[in-house]
Structure 1
């Protein structure tokens, strides 16, 4: 649906050229919700704005729904943009226009009659849960409702792609969850391809099937969301994931276990950090290795979460027993898809 190839974006700044994007390649499939995440200044907003050529790349090609946007003339680009809706962090509503008329604006600009506009806008307001607020003005509705107006407006031209540029950043957590649930519903009901720009892993966790992580104008990691969450490869990804599942054991836990294992009379033992996701999360692997290898297992720390219904997380376990049995247990766990890190051994 969306293919970006060798995208570069260079701005002329006060101190010289600014390289916002550096050779980005990205393929977003039809009908998926794709997340693009990174810290402020990573280049994610610059990237999403190349999809509809609000920012024309300095180099590279942009293809949407089989059309190369970078090869179109002005008239062709205007027509292509009607198939790409966009919602923004700060809503961008016109205060002098009612909810209905804000949603109707792009249809008025496209030359539709008032009757055609009403036939299209009324169902959209129902879809986003604002059917009873059509005559209100932006000053009379909440932030979450304003964003719903922005979503309805973006859908008015019946796009194939919906771009969301930090659309939930100005909202409280409860409203954010409601807006993300609405985007999921739109994705299911209308089959839209949705691209989410965000700096919040919680947003990615709730709705994105795949994601790309950006840093300094480049994509440093991408893939299936559950896989990336359970086995992040890049330091930036691990840092962003810290807000959901800490990537390192707390120092006090490690030191407490180190002291315990170093005490007189303690049998040979290891502090193991187990990271898991998907089907192995539901298997009784710990009880299995305890029985099979005669180990004593003590869970000293852990956290389990979900990515859209799929569990992932980590546990810190003190495993006590003979070294050969510990090694066999680690091999069994690894063979079952669990990542095992030996943090302390004594």
Structure 2
């Protein structure tokens, strides 16, 4: 559905050329929800705006549904943008227009009749749960309701692609969950291809099928969400997912681990489980098989799309050879074992 080929974007700065994106190659399949994550300044918003050419790439090509947008003239590009909806962090609603009229605005601009607009907008308001709010104004709405208006407005032109630029970062956690559930429902019902820009890995975990990690205007890692969460390759990716999958060691535990009598002669390891290994009683079997004592200090089990994964921080005591054999035994059962550093 979307192909980015060699996308580079640079600006003229006071100290010379500033490169916001550098050689981005990306393929997003029809009907999937694709996430792009990175820290502030990584180039995320520039990248998503290149997809609909709100930002024109300095180099490279943008193909949507097989059509190269970068070679279209102004009229053809305007027509192509009708197939690409976009929702924003700060909603961008017109305060003087009702919910209905905000959603209707893009249809008015293309000259659609009032009866046709009514026929198009009414079911969209029902879809986003605002059917009984059509006559209200933005000032009368909560943040989540405003974003639902923004989503309905983006869907008014019946796009094939929906771009979401930090669409939940201005919302509280409970409202964020409801908006993500709505986006999943829209993706399933309408078959839309959804591209999500965010700095929150929880959004990626809860919503997306695949993810690309952006850093310094370059994609440093990408893959299906489960693989990226359970086997992150880059240090930045590991940092981004740390809060989501329970890698942060509580301060009280750090203090206890600093006591010599607790850590003396013990091996501190972090164990990463996924799939079937999450449900198997591996720790108890390991203790019996290798005559080692395992103290579980901290951990979390979670799931992505019904597939479980998790990690445990453990303190193990036993003969050195037995411990090494135990770690190798776990590795054979698809449990990744890492030396834990908690300082």
From the superposition, tell whether residues 149 and 202 of structure 1 become closer, same or farther in structure 2 (CA, over 3 Å).
same
Aligned to 1:77: 77
Aligned to 2:285: 288
Residue 93 of structure 1 aligns to a residue whose secondary structure is: coil
Moved more, 288-297 or 91-100: 288-297
From the superposition, tell whether residues 261 and 242 of structure 1 become closer, same or farther in structure 2 (CA, over 3 Å).
closer
Map residues 166-177 of structure 1 onto 2, 5 A cutoff.
166-177=166-177
Aligned to 2:258: 255
Residue 97 of structure 1 aligns to a residue whose secondary structure is: coil
Q: Shift of residue 259 of structure 1?
A: 3.6
Aligned residue among 323, 331, 336 for 1:326: 323
- Deviations along 1:65-110, one digit per CA (max 9) or x if unpaired, are 1111112122221111111000001111111111111111111112
Unaligned runs of 5+ in 2: none
| Contact 1:238–1:247 (Cα < 8 Å) also in 2 | no
- Deviations along 1:4-42, one digit per CA (max 9) or x if unpaired, are 111100112344322110111111111111111111110
1:274 aligns with 2:276: no
Residue 238 of structure 2 aligns to a residue whose secondary structure is: helix
| Contact 2:246–2:311 (Cα < 8 Å) also in 1 | no
Unaligned runs of 5+ in 1: 263-267
**CA RMSD, Structure 1 to Structure 2 (Å):** 1.7
Q: Residues of 2 paired with 1:227 and 1:248: CA distance? A: 20
Relative to the length of structure 2, the TM-score reads: 0.93
Q: Shift of residue 280 of structure 1?
A: 1.5
Moved more, 144-153 or 244-253: 244-253
From the superposition, tell whether residues 112 and 177 of structure 1 become closer, same or farther in structure 2 (CA, over 3 Å).
same
From the superposition, tell whether residues 89 and 343 of structure 1 become closer, same or farther in structure 2 (CA, over 3 Å).
closer
Q: Residues of 1 paired with 2:92 and 2:263: CA distance? A: 60
- Deviations along 1:170-206, one digit per CA (max 9) or x if unpaired, are 1111111111110000011111111110111111111
Q: Shift of residue 288 of structure 1?
A: 2.1
Aligned residue among 333, 339, 342 for 1:342: 339
Q: Shift of residue 253 of structure 1?
A: 5.3
Aligned to 1:46: 46
Aligned to 1:135: 135
Q: Shift of residue 269 of structure 1?
A: 4.3
Relative to the length of structure 1, the TM-score reads: 0.93
| Contact 1:226–1:277 (Cα < 8 Å) also in 2 | no
Moved more, 310-319 or 78-87: 310-319
Residue 258 of structure 2 aligns to a residue whose secondary structure is: helix
| Contact 2:300–2:311 (Cα < 8 Å) also in 1 | yes
Aligned to 2:36: 36
Aligned to 1:119: 119
Q: Residues of 2 paired with 1:253 and 1:65: CA distance? A: 57
Q: Residues of 2 paired with 1:169 and 1:306: CA distance? A: 23
Residue 168 of structure 1 aligns to a residue whose secondary structure is: coil
Q: Residues of 2 paired with 1:216 and 1:235: CA distance? A: 14
Q: Residues of 1 paired with 2:299 and 2:54: CA distance? A: 45
Q: Residues of 1 paired with 2:339 and 2:235: CA distance? A: 20
Q: Shift of residue 51 of structure 1?
A: 0.5
1:27 aligns with 2:27: yes
- Deviations along 1:130-169, one digit per CA (max 9) or x if unpaired, are 0001111111111111110000000011111000001111
| Contact 1:148–1:179 (Cα < 8 Å) also in 2 | yes
Aligned to 1:63: 63
